[in-house]
Structure 1
Amino acid sequence: MTSSPSGQPPAPMAVPAFFVSQRVTMMVNRYEIRAAAPDGSEGQLLALAEQKRMKLKEEVVFFADETKSRPVFSFKARQRMDVSAQHDVFDEHGAPLGMFSKQFGASLLRSTWTLSAPGIEAVGRERRPVLAVVRRVWTALPVVGDVPVPFVFHFDFVDTATGAPVLISERKKAIRDRYTVTVPDPRLDFRVAAAMAVALDALQSR
């Protein structure tokens, strides 16, 4: 077993890179999480997530495959309809794996998140501060405010103690939302990384 740079063993489920793709339906936002193949293409399906709309408490369940017969992990908000609500990540048995939350004050100009998992305290921000401001101006305009934001933006999460990269989410230009997610820190469990990656899309406008 290879240890992380901090000396802590890798997470039980460590996946160094994967893709997240969104499908929008009438009542559900669906996300496919696929492994990154050695050649950079999309590999096997790792999980399928569904976000039901119009729920008082935000909850997203991840399933093992498209049959949706086996939920394998999930995240759920602690508070109702709160832009800075804390979200807990649970395994398939309901045991906690980590948590994340959006920092409302800091996010007024540049979206900022905190992420916690065993041995990890990280903060994630939009990579380009100027683009973050431009996005906010765009969405505030009455004519185009409801038009999908025509910008590609990325998030970088770093360890608050060391400054080392923990998770990187890069949005790709596509008809539907698509992200390349890299996890340089092997201490971060795939289930927490995938939950955070999906939340960056599902909850970004909150």
Structure 2
Amino acid sequence: MPAEMYLPTFYVKQKFAMTTNRYQIFAANPDGSFGQLMGFAEQKRLAFKEEVTFFSDETKSRPVFSFKARKRIDLNAGYDIFDENRQQIGFFRKDFGKSILRSTFHIEGPGYAGTGQERSQAVALIRRFTDIPFLPIHFDFVSPEGQPLLGVERQASVRDKYTVHVPNPEIDFRVAAAVAVGLDALMQR
């Protein structure tokens, strides 16, 4: 069944801020340019255990979805994703054991589950042993049967910019956006 809010392609752009990570999420126009602002979130650096709330715009007047850690200390606990009415719509977690050499995440939602991993083992190793902040990073999420669920690609740039492709219409835009922001924040640890 198609998700309540399906968006096949969108962008996540991190804005510069000294003490917080600020994220803007834009729909992709048919020509590939940035379209409508779909969400805005702020997350205090090094305080990822808090709830990250996405708002309709930078005035923060209307919350539209969020994600929150299940536990404060357990690194494998994962994050529940909620809609604006606090109903759970998805879940993701970093697999810290498998992420030692190549970051690995798991995603779940109504009617699907899958695993995402850095596409390039070489880039994963370079990222771990150097401090090059602008390497392109690609994550491919697939179902246990190998069907593509979600793709997240960070462009090679000084500020983080991601293109998110969602070929599976069962995956809600809000789940895909929370996972994309979570990837960025969790890879900094």
User: The TM-score by the shorter chain falls in which range?
Assistant: over 0.9
What does residue range 55-66 of structure 1 map to in structure 2 within 5 Å? Answer: 55=47, 57-66=49-58
Q: CA deviation at 1:190?
A: 0.6
Which of 63, 77, 85 pairs up with 1:93? 85
The CA deviation string for residues 10-46 of structure 1, in whole angstroms up to 9 with x for no partner, is: 0010000000000131322110000000000100100
Contact 1:152 1:171 in 2 (8 A): yes
The CA deviation string for residues 86-123 of structure 1, in whole angstroms up to 9 with x for no partner, is: 10000111110110000011000110000000001110
What does residue range 14-93 of structure 1 map to in structure 2 within 5 Å? Answer: 14-55=6-47, 57-93=49-85
Instruction: State the AA in 1 paired with 2:111.
Output: G
Instruction: State the AA in 2 paired with 1:100.
Output: F
Counterpart for residue 189 of structure 1: 172
Q: CA deviation at 1:55?
A: 3.3
Contact 1:56 1:80 in 2 (8 A): no
Q: Could you tell me how far apart the structure 1 residues matched to 2:100 and 2:51 are? A: 24
2:187 maps to 1:204: yes
Query: Structure 1's 177 and 88: CA in aligned 2 closer, same or farther, altered over 3 A?
Result: same
* TM-score, scaled relative to structure 2: 0.95
The CA deviation string for residues 119-177 of structure 1, in whole angstroms up to 9 with x for no partner, is: 01110000001221122121xxxxxxxx45342111000011x2111000111122310
Q: Could you tell me how far apart the structure 2 residues matched to 1:169 and 1:54 are? A: 22
Counterpart for residue 3 of structure 2: 11
Instruction: State the AA in 2 paired with 1:176.
Output: R
Q: Could you tell me how far apart the structure 1 residues matched to 2:20 and 2:135 are? A: 24
Q: Could you tell me how far apart the structure 1 residues matched to 2:46 and 2:73 are? A: 10
Contact 1:20 1:178 in 2 (8 A): yes
Contact 1:167 1:193 in 2 (8 A): yes
Which of 110, 116, 133 pairs up with 2:102? 110
Percent of pairs identical after alignment? 54
RMSD over aligned CA atoms reads: 1.4
